[in-house]
Amino acid sequence: MRNTTKITAAVLATGALTLGLTACGSDKADTKAKASDPLVVAATPVPHAEILNYIKKNLAKKEGLKLEVKEFTDYVTPNNATEDGSVDANYFQTTPYLEDFNKKNGTHLKSVATVHLEPLGLYSQKAKKLDGIKKGGTVALPNDADNESRALRFLAANDLITLKKGSESTATPQDVAKNPKDLQFKEVEAAQTPRSLKDVDAAVINGNYAIGADLNPAKDALALESTKNNEYNNVLAIKDGNQDDPRVKKLAKLLTSPEVKKFIEDKYKGSVLPSF
């Protein structure tokens, strides 16, 4: 019995060691295979997908990066796809939006690179100047919490409204303390704000959606968000735990390269601003 026990223990130990070595070898193989796979990145069309496609065409091959760009037109699907692994990363959102999304949805998304700013703008097909917005007019706002509070702070910064003290970071239309023009607010999905222009007196539109609707923020906006001390830079985001993915590191490096900075400046001419 004693000898049998010793032999059995030795066999089990050898088996465990073999399994351990096999598992380690498998992990290394998986890591190597993943590093050579395409990096799939979700992005909204303008300017995010345009910037990524510039990298794909001009910079990625030299860096040894295979890049696949998937376009989305909303702010929810790309984050859900990143969380469930349908895509490897996304590039479309600001840090405050990402943090708010994590809090409300229990997701685990992290920023790994700060790339650019798209100034928020106020647009109108009925008024040519800010003071031309009529009394009692309707202003369309993005309906997600982060962009709506940002839009209201923007209107307050341009003296159209005053917000209740302490409400700024989470402001909704109910937090408007003073409204000299008696403006009415229409909450719509951020992607639909450009389309709402024909139905409202003015609309607060995110820069990427303005550009996608052939609006030029630098020329067409009645007022444009200042870039000074602005927290709303757009970031490359991944699911927490994937920070060390070599493909992600390569893309983060390329997104903040001198070549991409020049591309943004030349193509968007102030409508999109590099943040690095």
- Per-residue model confidence (pLDDT) at position 23: 46
129 alpha-carbon distance from chain centroid? 30
Quote the tokens at residue 197. Answer: 């222009």
- Per-residue model confidence (pLDDT) at position 227: 67
**Cα dihedral 170/97/119/183 (nearest 10):** -30
**3-class DSSP string for 85-116:** CCCCEEEEEEHHHHHHHHHHHCCCEEEEEEEE
- Per-residue model confidence (pLDDT) at position 146: 87
pLDDT tens track for 67-90: 999 999 999 999 999 999 999 999
pLDDT tens track for 122-154: 999 999 999 999 999 999 999 998 899 999 999
16 or 200, which is more confident? 200
pTM greater than 0.75: no
| CA distance linking residue 72 with residue 44, whole number of Å | 5
**pLDDT mean over 167-178:** 95
Q: Mean of the per-residue pLDDT values for the chain?
A: 89
